[in-house]
Amino acid sequence: MAGVASHKRLSPSHRRLLQLAFDRFKAQAAWPQVARLQHELARQGDPFAVREVAKDLDPSLGHVDRLATGAEVTLTIKGVRRCVGAEQELDDFVRVVAYFVRRYLDAPDLPADVSSSELQRDLDLSDAGTRKLRLLLGSSNIPTAGGGGADAGWKLLIDDQILLFRGAKTIDQVIRRAYPAGRRHRSATRTQSPAASTDDAAASWAPGIVDWPAPAPGWGSVEVRLSNMHSRLADASTKDDWQDIGRRCREIVIEAANVVFTPRLVSAGNRPPGKNDAKARLDAYFEGRLPELADDMRAFVAGTWRLANAMTHHPRMGRLEAVCAVQGTILLVRVLQELERTPRRRHRS
């Protein structure tokens, strides 16, 4: 593996948080739960405060989801790069990224995909090694992700964004491409008006998508689409890019509707809506699962769909509108996942 890359200085507390999380990840092939880690430290008389330290951790290194039940300390591959004893995990990550590039280029047609069993066989990985890669792919800025839970069989969908990593042979090369330096402002050598300076700052700013990801068995394909859409947004700059984001939003809404919809939600004697009629399927779903808010959710679905359509068809779309469409799509998916986790309610009489 290549020598240590230059890194921004980490505070001792952040460095310790990363190492604590990685040591348990390496041993258990799972991210450590905050509550269990804090309990373990407390029993040792260690005053280290996991949640407090995680509040201002650089999100490109890792994060703690403070709002989720059973929150975990999750590291990115960039965070793992900062940890002692990570040589095997880093080498495996480089190998799997190169493997994705080869599989994309060798695929006779699209979609190009890789199953967890193929990955394990072709790269000679252990079960634990495969699980760790699945988790690291899901937390890192790599344009593909696994679904179906950490231990279940899963499939990876690979698109042309993986070509960003073609020729990357070291972990530092992979990380530099996955986490590029922030965009530079336009040249400051010429005189600019205050308005122009403001425009430059806005142009260099990259939007952050708000999300609270949590394991959701059965949603693997949707999660892959969400991950790819998020990566697409980061690189988008042209009309074709914005239209592609709109199409991706619509496809995600359709697939999410098909995950939750069952024919029993439709009244006897009525024909179930078709697989591409996401609005009708979600209308029936919310009527059956959340009747007291069915009208509000119907309006939310309709608004999300209109945003996606606007991105696809209207000529004056840009980054602001794309962020709105992507954020609405993510929120809709997370609401559906949360409903699926809660006990089912009786249909409205």
- Among 17-26, 130-139, 218-227, 243-252, the range with the most confident prediction by mean pLDDT is 17-26
Residues 258 and 321 in one domain: yes
Q: Please state which of the ranges 31-35, 112-116, 313-317 shows the lowest mean pLDDT.
A: 313-317
- How far is the C-alpha of 109 from the C-alpha of 54, rounded, in Å? 43
Does 58 reside within a domain?
A: yes
Q: Domain containing 52: what range?
A: 15-80
Token pair 């949640």 in the structure block, residue: 51
Same domain, residue pair 65 and 91 = no
Q: What was the pLDDT predicted at 181?
A: 64
The answer to whether residue 298 scores a pLDDT higher than 50 is: yes
**Is residue 10 assigned to a domain?**
no
Q: What is the token pair recorded at 215?
A: 């394991």
Residues 120 and 105 reside in one and the same domain = yes
Report yes or no on 93 lying in a domain: yes
The answer to whether residues 331 and 229 belong to one domain is: yes
Please give the pLDDT value at position 173: 93
DSSP symbol at 268: T
Upstream peptide bond of 111 is cis (omega within 30 degrees of 0): yes
Could you report the per-residue pLDDT of 75-111, keeping only the tens digit for each?
999 999 999 999 999 999 999 999 999 999 999 987 7
Residues contacting residue 72 through CB under 8 Å, at least 6 positions apart: 31, 32, 33, 34, 64, 65
Same domain (yes/no): 49, 140: no
Q: What percent of the chain has pLDDT over 70?
A: 81
Q: Which of 27-36, 90-99, 250-259, 265-274 is least confident?
A: 265-274
User: Which residues partner with 74 through β-bridges?
Assistant: 63
| pLDDT attached to residue 192 | 39
Same structural domain, 98 and 147: yes
Whether the predicted model's global pTM rises above the 0.85 cut? no
Shared domain for 66 and 119, answered yes or no, is: no
pLDDT of residue 231: 74
Residue 43 has pLDDT above 50, yes or no: yes
Whether 76 and 110 map to the same domain: the answer is: no
At 180 the pLDDT is 78
**Number of domains making up the chain:** 3
Q: Which of 80, 105, 121 is the last residue of a domain?
A: 80
- Residue at 230 is within a domain: yes
Same domain, residue pair 275 and 328: yes
Rounded Cα–Cα distance for residues 154 and 172 (Å)? 27
pLDDT, residue 66, reads 57
Asked if residue 234 lies in contact with residue 180, where contact means CB atoms within 8 angstroms, the answer is no
Is residue 37 predicted with pLDDT exceeding 50? yes
φ, ψ at 114 (rounded to 5°): -140, 130
Answer yes or no: do 70 and 113 share one domain.
no
Q: What are phi and psi of 220, to 5 degrees?
A: -55, -50
| Spatial contact of 162 and 144, defined as CB atoms under 8 Å apart | yes
Sign of the CA dihedral with 106 first, then 107, 113, and 117 last: negative
CA distance 300 to 222: 19
Q: Is residue 29 part of a domain?
A: yes
Q: Does the structure show a pLDDT above 90 at 229?
A: no
Last residue of a domain, one of 127, 153, 178: 178
Look at residue 114 and tell me if it is in a domain.
yes
Do residue 58 and residue 154 come from a single domain?
Answer: no
The answer to whether 253 and 329 are in contact (CB under 8 A) is: yes
Q: Which amino acid is at 110?
A: L
What does the pLDDT look like over 115-166, one tens digit per residue? 889 999 999 999 999 999 988 988 888 876 444 444 557 788 888 888 889 9
Residue 190, in any domain of the structure = no
Question: Has residue 255 been placed in a domain?
Answer: yes
Is the distance from CB of 165 to CB of 174 less than 8 angstroms? Answer: yes
| Residue type at position 153 | G
Q: Is it the case that residue 203 has pLDDT exceeding 80?
A: no
Assess contact for 254 and 276: CB atoms under 8 A: yes
| End-of-domain residue from the set 153, 178, 203 | 178
Same domain (yes/no): 148, 95? yes
